[in-house]
């Protein structure tokens, strides 16, 4: 899809409600940056909802910064930030620590808090630790299989069984 203001490829797709009807804009990175950083209106409110969102979320990140961030991976489960952005799901509890800097503004925007206030699971912290260990072992086993290191994969399979049985 091409940018509506120039002939470059559109990488930003913005939907705004104007007069109760959705209006879609398809813009390249440069035109989107220009659109989202329109000067504020005279009464101090942003010229558009998208402009307000851009100011709040600092949309002006360069493509290189985003590419670097997308390569960042959790050392426990191996999920990358790119996978999280595409799926909308994290891989393990450790991801909240690994991607803390990126997740805090998102959680604040969605939930109004960055700290959990509500019910907690009945499981103990030890259960969480064993789940995290299982995630790590499964990831390592997949990597061993991909590398055709079947001896290591069978060792990891046995470790997974021990953790599941509660003897490890």
Q: How far apart are CA 156 and CA 6, in angstroms?
A: 54
| Beta-bridge partner residues of 26 | 13
Per domain, the residue ranges of the chain are 12-57, 63-111, 125-165
Amino acid 40: pLDDT: 46
pLDDT at 46: 45
Q: Taking a C-beta distance cutoff of 8 angstroms, is the pair 57, 31 a contact?
A: no
pLDDT digits (tens, 9 = 90+) for 129-149: 778 788 889 989 999 999 999
Please give the helix or strand (H or E) that residue 27 lies within, else none: strand 21-27
Cα 20 to Cα 96: distance, rounded to the nearest angstrom: 37
Q: pLDDT in tens for each of the 168 residues of the chain?
A: 888 888 888 888 887 777 777 788 888 888 888 887 765 444 444 445 555 555 545 545 556 667 777 788 888 888 888 888 888 888 888 888 888 888 888 878 877 777 777 777 666 555 677 787 888 899 899 999 999 999 999 999 999 999 888 755
Q: In this structure, what token pair is assigned to residue 121? A: 């699971």
Say if strands 12-18 and 21-27 run parallel, antiparallel, or are unpaired.
antiparallel
Cα distance between residue 147 and residue 80, in whole Å: 20
* Sheet strands (E) in 28-146: none
List, for residues 98-126, the tens digit of each pLDDT value: 888 888 888 788 777 777 777 776 665 55
Task: Look at the pTM and tell me if it is higher than 0.85.
Answer: no
Which candidate, 143, 138, 142, 144, places its Cα nearest to that of 159? 138
- Cβ-contact 99, 81 below 8 angstroms: yes
* 3-state SS, residue 163: helix
């Amino acid at each position: 899809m091409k940018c509506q203001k120039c002939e470059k490829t559109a990488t930003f797709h913005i939907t705004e409600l104007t007069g109760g009807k959705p209006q879609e804009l398809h813009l390249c990175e440069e035109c989107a940056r220009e659109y989202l950083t329109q000067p504020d209106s005279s009464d101090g409110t942003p010229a558009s909802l998208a402009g307000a969102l851009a100011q709040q979320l600092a949309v002006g990140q360069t493509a290189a910064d985003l590419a670097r961030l997308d390569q960042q991976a959790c050392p426990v489960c191996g999920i990358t930030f790119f996978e999280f952005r595409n799926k909308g799901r994290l891989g393990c509890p450790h991801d909240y620590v690994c991607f803390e800097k990126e997740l805090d503004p998102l959680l604040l925007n969605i939930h109004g808090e960055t700290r959990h206030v509500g019910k907690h699971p009945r499981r103990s912290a030890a259960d969480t630790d064993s789940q995290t260990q299982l995630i790590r072992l499964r990831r390592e086993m997949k990597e061993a299989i991909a590398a055709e290191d079947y001896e290591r994969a069978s060792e990891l399979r046995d470790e997974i069984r021990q953790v599941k049985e509660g003897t490890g």
